[in-house]
């Protein structure tokens, strides 16, 4: 793949992480510690500038023993001084857009060219009105929206914008299962989705829904048919397939920390059995290194901590069910973002992301 920003070299690429104390930021730091090209230059934390990164993430102490969180001023100076750099934003939605806009304005004044992958929801919609309709507040950088493309990497061959908005974890799993059905015209454009997520998907700040004694050994739905990710899934599916689809989405809280299991069901337009459905999925994702289609039902432990997605399907001639499992922090967030940044800088898409699941998490 040709590097979009210049000639490929072996030099380290300065890398910045915004929103540095959350779970997704911690996962980004874990992946960057083993990446051969992206070299951490700064981790922004407004709440803990100057504090050791290892204090927030003790499990990363071996990799970041002397690294400390940076202030916004320090990050702006870095982005303004590096001719090119990679910026990952793991800041919350409603915060990320303003941070990114500030950095890009500083870079433009300095004549530098950072590339951004935003993991928040702030750049997933093409219009400020669409964003405001879902998140109930005005967008903080509406002029930047055309500079971002939102898609799962496997569903977009060519990137036409300088920056990327990575879909959320539920969206990633749902799109991987749904886009083949819509693209191949196998089902009507009304899909019924059941998703189960681990507790890390709710973020680091404890709330009732993620408090361990309440979540342990339990399973319950929330925001049925009204979850904020459903419009994002529909927008990404439309961009990937040209089909205006409806997603009837019922999310659930699972009693585990990492992972997402999604089942997408729909009636079939023409009779298809299970072997033909599996063959169609394999053909659709041929060449996609991180998507594996299995004959048996996929399990969360098969992909936990990895950037891989496992899919399977069952079809009885009338109805199809496609199952997808991903790790919410990795493929659904940090890993998918690194996968995008690899592409942006012309690196192999799998660079730094091929570690297998531990299996006994």
Active-site residue list: 169
Identify the helix (H) or strand (E) that includes residue 263. strand 260-267
Strand order in the sheet with 38-43: 38-43, 13-18, 84-89, 113-118, 163-165, 148-150
Count, in order, helices (H) and strands (E) of the chain: 10, 13
Cβ neighbors of 55 (< 8 A, separation 6 or more) are: 48
* Residues 6 or more apart whose Cβ sits within 8 Å of residue 192: 248, 264, 265, 266
- Mention every residue, 6+ apart, whose C-beta is less than 8 A from residue 355: 34, 305, 306
Q: How far apart are CA 13 and CA 177, in angstroms?
A: 33
What is the spatial distance between Cα 142 and Cα 223, in angstroms, rounded to a whole number? 27
User: Measured between alpha carbons, how far is 131 from 143 in angstroms, rounded to an integer?
Assistant: 13
- Report d(CA 330, CA 87) in Å as an integer: 17
């Amino acid at each position: 793949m040709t590097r979009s920003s210049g000639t490929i070299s072996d030099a380290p690429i300065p890398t910045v992480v915004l929103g540095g104390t959350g779970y997704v930021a911690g996962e980004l730091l874990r992946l960057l510690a083993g990446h051969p090209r992206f070299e951490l230059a700064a981790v922004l934390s407004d709440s803990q500038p100057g504090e050791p990164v290892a204090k927030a993430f003790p499990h990363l102490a071996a990799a970041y023993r002397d690294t400390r969180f940076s202030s916004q001023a320090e990050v702006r100076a870095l982005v303004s001084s590096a001719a090119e750099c990679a910026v990952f934003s793991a800041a919350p939605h409603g915060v990320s857009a303003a941070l990114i806009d500030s950095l890009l304005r500083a870079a433009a004044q300095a004549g530098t060219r950072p590339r951004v992958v935003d993991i928040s929801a702030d750049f997933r919609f093409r219009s400020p009105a669409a964003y405001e309709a879902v998140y109930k507040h005005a967008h903080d950088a509406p002029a930047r929206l055309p500079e971002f493309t939102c898609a799962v990497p496997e569903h977009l061959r060519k990137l036409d914008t300088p920056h990327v908005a990575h879909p959320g974890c539920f969206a990633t799993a749902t799109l991987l299962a749904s886009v083949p059905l819509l693209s191949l015209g196998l089902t009507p454009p009304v899909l019924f989705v059941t998703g189960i997520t681990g507790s890390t998907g709710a973020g680091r700040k404890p709330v009732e829904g993620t408090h361990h004694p309440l979540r342990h050994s339990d399973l319950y739905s929330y925001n049925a048919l009204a979850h904020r990710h459903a419009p994002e899934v529909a927008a990404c599916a439309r961009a990937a397939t040209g089909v205006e689809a409806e997603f009837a989405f019922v999310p659930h809280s699972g009693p585990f920390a990492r992972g997402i299991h999604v089942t997408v069901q729909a009636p079939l337009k023409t009779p298809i059995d299970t072997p033909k459905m599996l063959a169609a999925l394999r053909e659709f994702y041929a060449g996609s290194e991180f998507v594996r289609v299995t004959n048996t039902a996929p399990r969360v432990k098969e992909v936990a901590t990895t950037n891989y997605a496992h899919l399977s399907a069952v079809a009885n001639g009338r109805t199809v069910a496609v199952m997808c499992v991903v790790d919410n922090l990795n493929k659904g967030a940090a890993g998918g973002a690194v996968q995008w940044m690899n592409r942006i800088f012309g690196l192999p898409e799998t660079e730094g992301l091929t570690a297998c699941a531990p299996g006994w998490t």
